[in-house]
Chains A and B, each alone.
Chain A
Amino acid sequence: MMKTLIWVEHDNTSVKDATLSVITAAAKLGEVTALVAGSDCAAIAEETAKIAGVSKVLKADDAAYANALAENIAPLIADLMGSYDAFLAPATTTGKNISPRVAALLDVMQISDILSVEGPKTFTRPVYAGNAIATVESTDAKLVITVRGTAFDKAEATGGSASVEDVSGPGDAGLASFVGAEIATLERPELTSAKIIVSGGRALRDAETFESVITPLADKLGAGIGASRAAVDAGYVPNDYQVGQTGKIVAPEVYIAIGISGAIQHLAGMKDSKTIIAINKDEEAPIFQVADIGLVSDLFTAVPELCEKL
């Protein structure tokens, strides 16, 4: 039975959802120990101990581990890995920042962004922006893996009763310091956890039109708002709205693509959505090749009408 160590992503308020998918992936390999690193993170450790499938929680409470600086956290994980066979982290920006640093410290080639566990050392992962899926096998003594959250079910947040053990590490490496963050405060669901997403493309013309067309529909549905890279590049919305290979990978219950043609780049970020709905006036738009429900219509009349009739 393999022993796995997973890194718990949190903001000191709650455990991030992506962690729950990592636990599901890790449980396919073996026993799951969860590392909660942070400053004053006892509440997060308690929350983690309740997650189904976690057999032990390691708590590394140190000011150096606040803000998840890779320079400080990676050596802590590398030290702990003496007792584990596999390390797994979410393929979020923070997970992707830390995990390869751990891999290099262990002299292991990381397997990035896994979509499935095929065997004890065999996984599938997307390459070429999801245009191809590679089945890969590690030959390293230990595994270092990042997990695509949308590819695995989330472990139940309750039901577990793991013990919490304190651990300590090398602390502050003295290389980097955290200055601050500008976190977009959204009144609506965050894209990666939204059940419904309304997304707009270049056809929305400008920032004002994007707001006046997309927002009322999203409000009505309690949906998150996304955008194509074209809409972001054109400045209609800030970059954290971007859905796609170079933006966020989402898989909501319902994804409504409005005025989005469906470039490969965009499809790579949303094609795992359960139901895709497309509204576009161009009947030939590639988005219709992946949409479950398509409406060929001018969005400027269709969307307000839809809003009114819902």
Chain B
Amino acid sequence: MKALVCVKRVLDYNVTPRVKPDGSGVDLTNVKMSMNPFDEIAVEEAVRLKEKGVVTEIIAVSIGPDKAQETLRTALAMGVDRAILVQTDDTVEPLAVAKIVKGVADAEQPGLLITGKQAIDDDSNQTGQMLAALMNRPQGTFANELTVEGEHVVVKREIDGGLETVKLALPAIITTDLRLNEPRYASLPNIMKAKKKPLEIKTPADFGVDTQPRIKTLKVSEPPTRAAGVKVADVDELVAKLKALGVA
């Protein structure tokens, strides 16, 4: 069974985003970019499934600029077998991403499609669910644990009150939550080897997908700031404040 993983190049999670003064977006010039952390978890899960002998080949796909090749090389260094970059400099919304990935999946016929639950830039949390809808396949979102059992995958999902388990017919779409696994660091020999692994370049047009955005961003602004309040000297003063609030 093949596994298809989707990876996105985003602002590194350790970098504090800065809103551009003209309100047109977040400044991405000269800042560190990395693989979306939830996508790293997706790659790791696929690699572990291959190590267990459940998956035979892993294909990573990324939709983005030329530089997203670096993100795909990272995935290859972690253990992905080959990569596809669908190259575009435009902003591609989750719906168009899902349509392109469906195109890749139609050609590759993977048994499992694994994506991060959301990208940490636009925080949409849509692509996996949309892909599942377009392919008319089941979805195991916010996965905490997954086990392939014959023609099914059993997914433990993180839900608001705890955990839920669903059984999905393969092929299935999985979106990863934080606690599914802890991604490995690529070793130097694997980084070297990754440079020789196949990386194919395509365009959205190859899949007949129109990436024209459906949502217009009118402006991007700083969140309202919360002013710091007062410091109290001791517990007695805190108790008095709490009583004034009607808490105690």
- Indicate whether B200 reaches chain A with its CB closer than 8 angstroms: no
B110 CB to nearest A CB, Å: 16
Q: Are A132 and B166 in contact (CB under 8 A)?
A: no
Q: Are B218 and A135 in contact (CB under 8 A)?
A: yes
Question: What is the CA–CA distance of A271 and B226 in the complex, to the nearest angstrom?
Answer: 8
Most-contacted residue by chain B among A108, A253, A276, A277 (CB, 10 A): A277
Which one, A74, A178, A293, contacts B238 given CB within 8 A?
A: A293
In the bound complex, residues from chain B placing their C-beta under 8 Å from that of A294 are 228-232
For chain A, residues 153 to 201, give those with C-beta under 8 angstroms from any C-beta of chain B: 173-184, 190, 192, 196
Q: Are B169 and A176 in contact (CB under 8 A)?
A: yes
In the bound complex, residues from chain A placing their C-beta under 8 Å from that of B168 are 175-176
- Indicate whether A234 reaches chain B with its CB closer than 8 angstroms: no
- Indicate whether B1 reaches chain A with its CB closer than 8 angstroms: no
Q: Are B94 and A109 in contact (CB under 8 A)?
A: yes
Q: Are B226 and A293 in contact (CB under 8 A)?
A: no
B89 CB to nearest A CB, Å: 19
Question: What is the CA–CA distance of A99 and B6 in the complex, to the nearest angstrom?
Answer: 21
Q: A109-B93, A179-B167 known; A96 and B141 CB under 8 Å?
A: yes
Q: A109-B215, A133-B222 known; A295 and B238 CB under 8 Å?
A: yes
Could you tell me the dominant secondary structure of chain A's interface residues? mixed
A interface, size bucket: 35 or more
- Indicate whether B139 reaches chain A with its CB closer than 8 angstroms: yes
**Partner-binding segment picked from A23-31, A39-47, A121-129, A202-210:** A121-129
**Partner-binding segment picked from B54-62, B121-129, B201-209:** B121-129
- Indicate whether A54 reaches chain B with its CB closer than 8 angstroms: no
A280 CB to nearest B CB, Å: 11
A259 CB to nearest B CB, Å: 15
- Indicate whether A215 reaches chain B with its CB closer than 8 angstroms: no
- Indicate whether A292 reaches chain B with its CB closer than 8 angstroms: yes
A237 CB to nearest B CB, Å: 13
Q: Are A136 and B216 in contact (CB under 8 A)?
A: yes
- Indicate whether A296 reaches chain B with its CB closer than 8 angstroms: yes
- Indicate whether B186 reaches chain A with its CB closer than 8 angstroms: no
Question: What is the CA–CA distance of A183 and B163 in the complex, to the nearest angstrom?
Answer: 6
**Partner-binding segment picked from B77-85, B191-199, B239-247:** B239-247
Q: How many A-B residue pairs have CB under 8 A?
A: 237
Most-contacted residue by chain B among A71, A173, A180 (CB, 10 A): A71
In the bound complex, residues from chain B placing their C-beta under 8 Å from that of A173 are 136
B217 CB to nearest A CB, Å: 5
- Indicate whether A2 reaches chain B with its CB closer than 8 angstroms: no
B32 CB to nearest A CB, Å: 14
For chain B, residues 137 to 179, give those with C-beta under 8 angstroms from any C-beta of chain A: 137-139, 141-142, 154, 157-169, 178-179
**Partner-binding segment picked from B11-19, B43-51, B63-71:** B11-19
Could you tell me the dominant secondary structure of chain B's interface residues? mixed
Q: Are A292 and B230 in contact (CB under 8 A)?
A: yes
- Indicate whether B26 reaches chain A with its CB closer than 8 angstroms: yes
Which one, A126, A135, A279, contacts B217 given CB within 8 A?
A: A135
Most-contacted residue by chain A among B161, B178, B228 (CB, 10 A): B161
Question: What is the CA–CA distance of A239 and B159 in the complex, to the nearest angstrom?
Answer: 10
Q: Are B216 and A139 in contact (CB under 8 A)?
A: yes
Which one, A112, A175, A292, contacts B138 given CB within 8 A?
A: A175
Q: Are B133 and A134 in contact (CB under 8 A)?
A: no
Most-contacted residue by chain A among B11, B94, B123, B217 (CB, 10 A): B123
- Indicate whether A291 reaches chain B with its CB closer than 8 angstroms: yes
Q: Are A104 and B238 in contact (CB under 8 A)?
A: no
Q: Are A134 and B219 in contact (CB under 8 A)?
A: yes
Q: Are B165 and A180 in contact (CB under 8 A)?
A: yes
Q: Are B141 and A97 in contact (CB under 8 A)?
A: yes
Q: Are B166 and A69 in contact (CB under 8 A)?
A: yes
Q: Are A104 and B133 in contact (CB under 8 A)?
A: yes
Q: Are A293 and B179 in contact (CB under 8 A)?
A: no
Q: A110-B94, A177-B167, A277-B238 known; A132 and B17 CB under 8 Å?
A: yes
- Indicate whether B188 reaches chain A with its CB closer than 8 angstroms: no
In the bound complex, residues from chain A placing their C-beta under 8 Å from that of B226 are 271, 276, 289-290
- Indicate whether A212 reaches chain B with its CB closer than 8 angstroms: no
Q: Are B218 and A302 in contact (CB under 8 A)?
A: no
Q: A93-B142, A128-B11, A293-B229 known; A108 and B214 CB under 8 Å?
A: yes
In the bound complex, residues from chain B placing their C-beta under 8 Å from that of A79 are none
- Indicate whether B33 reaches chain A with its CB closer than 8 angstroms: no
For chain B, residues 82 to 97, give those with C-beta under 8 angstroms from any C-beta of chain A: 93-95
Q: In the complex, which residue of chain A has the Cβ closest to the Cβ of B117?
A: A96
Question: What is the CA–CA distance of A183 and B247 in the complex, to the nearest angstrom?
Answer: 29
Interface residue ranges, B against A (CB under 8 Å): 11, 16-17, 19, 26, 93-95, 98, 120-134, 136-139, 141-142, 154, 157-169, 178-179, 213-223, 226, 228-232, 234-236, 238-239, 241-242, 245, 247-248
Interface residue ranges, A against B (CB under 8 Å): 67, 69-71, 74, 92-94, 96-105, 107-113, 122, 126-140, 173-184, 190, 192, 196, 220-221, 239-240, 246, 248, 253-254, 264, 271, 275-277, 279, 288-297, 302, 305-306, 309-310
Between-chain CB contacts (< 8 Å), 11 pairs: A70-B132, A93-B141, A96-B129, A97-B129, A101-B133, A104-B129, A109-B213, A110-B124, A181-B163, A253-B247, A295-B231
